[in-house]
Amino acid sequence: MPNPAWTASGGAPAQSEGGNKAVQQFFAILKDSYREAVDGFVIYVMLGLSAVLIAIAASMSFTPVPPEDAFSAIVPQFNLIVPDKGRSSAISLEDRNTFKASDVETAGGGYKLRLTVTATTERSREFDPVEAAGGKSDRPKGDSFRSAVARWSAVTGETVRVDEKGKVNKNKGAKGIDVAVPTQFTVAEQRAVTDGQMEEFLKSQFVMHADMSATVTRSKSGEEPVYAFDVTTTGGSAVKGWPHATKLFFGAATLADNAPLGGTLWLIEDVVISRFGGTFTLLIGMIITSFFIPNMLRKGSVDLLISKPVSRSKLLVFKYIGGLTFMFLVTAFTVGGIWFVLAVRSGFWDPSFLVAIPVLTFTFAILYALSTLTATFTRSAIAAMLISIGFAFFLFVFGQIKAASDSDKVEHPNSEPSFLQTYVVDLGHDALPRTRELDQLVRRAISSGTLTPSARKLLIRTEDTPSLAGTFGMSLFHIAWMLGVSCWWFSRRDY
């Protein structure tokens, strides 16, 4: 029997459950997109590949080297001093101190060890007759360890930029790493370095080079220029800087015998998965989803849908979200799966890699909006696919050009940027969706999650961090206008 609400005169049915109905319609369309996606074979190829990747990741083994060896590998790096937050970004290299770890034993959740620093005595500038005569002077002396700590504690002075070839480049904007020019401290200044400062310094070095928190206490044994410290670290071996033997295929292939865990994970996550895997996932995602909207608009199908009590804009937007959800799930499965097995296998649970899931989905959202726009105008899956993939490629190339143009500007700060740079590259960058910045966002997250601060300093070129509002805002703006135009066109067309 007809519903009494419908037969009541006056047209539209009671709208009491309007919101509920919209939710039901939304989920119906999501479910429909899901059915469509799993109907083809491409999705199985894709999930299969993801599963293979996850299986490969699961076949990796990360075996920490024994504590004695690990600390022997970590502490010599303490000659490299990487500034803490808030200080200059210049690093400094001290090469006259020898750091040695001994008596390593497990203690609680961490380790106990003796750290010995053998420094080089610094010859005082003042003339010392006793020493000149070959005797042992009582005068206080400075040494390389004291001056290293003093330099570490003080504000960095002059710096130079060292380029990739190891040459000093006078130009401030050049590519490379800033290195502090060693400041000379007088003996008196060196003598003023307290035990507390030394302990703080070493503590900081454990964080910088191994991401290990430690308590350091100077022990009175050892005579300067030999210093001894009692160190207790917390946390086990699954820290960024702990050297691990990494093997693939359940031990069949050795990737590294003795490489820091974080560095290995960074290589896998950033280079292998985020770059190649991400590009591949986006590509396949675009291919699969480019059929969604043209199929919906096919003659004979579209009348069935648009005769339902859903507005056309809603249909299109829901369908678009359906595509995004699909991509989100595939990315979440792949990235999440790989992250999970790597974490289980290595014991290193850092969630920053998971940032790739929303960011990849967001990148996809930009491209899929273009695909939707093309599809509503042409009703052709091939056109949607080619145009959106072509655009992705264009954005990638444009991003490279922008990067080249930026570093050119830095290297030639005195020459006027060319017309092309100002009006095409820079304006283009401001106006286009920011896919390159999104990519960098993921890479930054991965590197800060896996690399020790010192490794990050050496491996990753610091760049200005673009504002999140700009990155997402501009991209959202593009998504909005493309969907808006699609909806407008779809709503006024005859089918």
Q: Rule CB under 8 A: is residue 303 a binding residue for other proteins?
A: yes
Per DSSP, the three-state class of 231 is: strand
Q: Rule CB under 8 A: is residue 488 a binding residue for other proteins?
A: no
Q: Rule CB under 8 A: is residue 132 a binding residue for other proteins?
A: no
As measured in angstroms, the least distance from the Cβ of 302 to other proteins is: 8
Amino acid identity, position 221: S
Q: Would you state the torsion angle of the CA atoms of residues 440, 446, 450, 452, taken in this order, to the nearest 10 degrees?
A: 20
Its sign, for the CA torsion 32, 483, 471, 286, is: positive
Q: Rule CB under 8 A: is residue 16 a binding residue for other proteins?
A: no
Q: Rule CB under 8 A: is residue 203 a binding residue for other proteins?
A: no
Distance in angstroms (rounded) separating the CA atoms of residues 33 and 316: 12
Near other proteins in 39-78, by CB under 8 A: 39
As measured in angstroms, the least distance from the Cβ of 313 to other proteins is: 10
DSSP-derived secondary structure for 261-313:
HHHHHHIIIIIIIIIIIHHHHHHHHHHHHTTHHHHHTSTTTHHHHHTSSS-HH
Q: Rule CB under 8 A: is residue 15 a binding residue for other proteins?
A: yes
Q: Rule CB under 8 A: is residue 380 a binding residue for other proteins?
A: no
Residue 356 C-alpha from the chain's centroid? 8
DSSP-derived secondary structure for 30-86:
HHHHHHHHHHSSHHHHHHHHHHHHHHHHHT-EEEEPPHHHHHHHHGGGGGEE---TT
Q: Which of 4, 134, 166, 309 binds other proteins (CB under 8 A)?
A: 309
As measured in angstroms, the least distance from the Cβ of 43 to other proteins is: 11
Q: Rule CB under 8 A: is residue 32 a binding residue for other proteins?
A: yes
Residue 79 CB neighbour total at 10 angstroms: 17
Distance in angstroms (rounded) separating the CA atoms of residues 189 and 191: 5
- Scanning 165-173, 308-316, 425-433, 446-454 for contacts with other proteins by CB under 8 A, the matching segment is 308-316
The C-alpha R_g of the chain, in whole angstroms, comes to 30
Residue 61 CB neighbour total at 10 angstroms: 17
Q: Rule CB under 8 A: is residue 35 a binding residue for other proteins?
A: yes
Strand partners, 393: none
As measured in angstroms, the least distance from the Cβ of 305 to other proteins is: 8
Residue with tokens 């006027």: 416
Q: Which of 4, 11, 108, 109 binds other proteins (CB under 8 A)?
A: 11
- Scanning 17-25, 83-91, 242-250, 352-360 for contacts with other proteins by CB under 8 A, the matching segment is 17-25
Tokens for 173, please give them: 């904007």
Nearer to other proteins, 12 or 133 (CB): 12
End-to-end CA distance of the chain: 32
- Scanning 1-9, 166-174, 325-333, 437-445 for contacts with other proteins by CB under 8 A, the matching segment is 1-9
Nearer to other proteins, 231 or 487 (CB): 487
Nearer to other proteins, 9 or 414 (CB): 9
Q: Which of 85, 136, 170, 299 binds other proteins (CB under 8 A)?
A: 299
Where on the chain is the footprint of other proteins (CB under 8 A)? 1-3, 6-7, 9-13, 15, 17, 21, 24-25, 27-29, 31-32, 35-36, 39, 295, 298-311, 492, 494-495
